[in-house]
Amino acid sequence: MKTINKMIAAGIATVFAVLSVEGQITVKTKEMKSATTREFEIVNQLGTQSAVVNMPVTKLLNAPGNEALRDFFFTPVKDKSALKGKKIAVIVADGFEEIELTGPVWYFKELGAQVDIVAPKYNPAPERYGLVYPEMSKTHVMAIQYLQPVGWIKFDRTADQIKVSDYDAVFIPGGAWNPDNLRYDKDVIKFIQDFNKTGKLIAAICHAPVVLASADILKGRKLTGYWNIQVDLKNAGGNVVEQSVVTDANIITSRHPIDVADFSRAVESWLVKK
């Protein structure tokens, strides 16, 4: 009988123990749900609504007033050997304006030039920045249209791998983010400075002239650029004018994607004369 009573007592104790644990789990779960809900609400306030915007190149080419730009791309190139033997380096990082790279590159290749896409050496930010890099960012750079990411392009070499003697010209596309990434890269800035000393062509469009400002090669030079950066170009010692394209000695600058045709022809003209 005593044994039975002990077994019953033990069973009751076990039940209470289980109930106690279950109660603790329930309370803990409620606390966790409450904490998760709070965190979720805060994260929602810190983030913004996702959006995907489609801005195809055709929209730019078919926009009223851009007839000349459209003709530039759709009129067959007459002399496909005009730039034969010329080597051009496109210095570019993530956030480049798509048409400002793809447009001139297409044209220079149509004229027979060899074009290399050159990017800064892969250098991801520290983990505490909370950034995530896709695997392809080790071999590609990201294109944008205005401020909307739209695609990727593979680069051929990195800035630490190239020499001034490798190229006849350097070309930097714009985009709001691309020049900001480039102007911080020591390899890029040194290359631009060394390239400038040789008198070889340096061409920059839209926001890209700020890279030349960071390289400190604009003092006394006549140039142009995207409207938002013109004050920066003046502060760097440049003489800023409002034209679609400006050539001053070995530096060619331009303002905007709508000026891609004028910009590309100016680069062609400079290289042909040289």
Structure confidence by residue, pLDDT tens digits, 198-237: 999 999 999 999 999 999 999 999 999 999 999 999 999 9
Is the pLDDT score of 105 beyond 60?
A: yes
pLDDT of residue 13: 46
Which candidate in 182, 201, 206, 210 is catalytic? Answer: 206
207 among known catalytic residues = yes
pLDDT of residue 29: 53
pLDDT digits (tens, 9 = 90+) for 4-35: 444 444 444 444 444 454 455 454 555 556 66
Which candidate in 183, 207, 255, 256 is catalytic? Answer: 207
Q: In what order do the strands lie in the sheet with 96-97?
A: 96-97, 140-145, 148-154
Q: E-strand spans in the chain?
A: 87-91, 96-97, 114-119, 140-145, 148-154, 157-158, 169-172, 201-205, 222-223, 239-240, 245-248, 251-254
Cα separation, 21 vs 27, whole angstroms: 10
Q: What is the pTM of this model?
A: 0.82
256 among known catalytic residues = no
